Amino acid sequence: MNPLKFIQEVKQEAFKVTWPTGKETMQGTLMVVAMAIIASLFFLLVDQILKSLLQIVLNIGL
C-alpha cells in the first residue's frame, strides 16, 4: 500500500470523528467518579462484613 494514500485515508477518517462537547466530557467524568465512589463503598462494606464473619469463625475455634 502506498504510504501517501494511507496518510490521506487516515486524515479523511479523522475528519469524520465527532468529538464530545465540554459538557458531555464533564458528565462522563462525573459519572466515572460517582461509580468509582459507589464501588469503593460497596467493597468496603463487603470487606467489613467478611472481616466480622472471619473474626466470629476464628473465635469459635478457640
Compute the average pLDDT of residues 8-25: 93
Whole-number Cα distances in Å, 57 to 37, 51, 53 = 30, 10, 6
Confidence of residue 2 (pLDDT cuts 50, 70, 90): confident
Tell me: pLDDT of 1 over 90: no
Q: Residue 26 pLDDT more than 90? A: yes
What is d(CA 15, CA 21) in angstroms, rounded to the nearest whole number? 16
Q: In whole angstroms, what is the distance from residue 31 CA to residue 42 CA?
A: 16
Arithmetic mean of pLDDT, 6-22: 93
Residue 8 cell numbers, joined: 490521506
Task: Give the residue extent of every domain in the chain.
Answer: 29-62
State the average pLDDT over residues 12-41.
96
Give dist(CA 5, CA 2) in Å, integer. 5
pLDDT tens by residue, 35-56:
999 999 999 999 999 999 999 9
In the 8-state DSSP scheme, what is residue 20?
P
Look-up of cell digits 465512589: 37
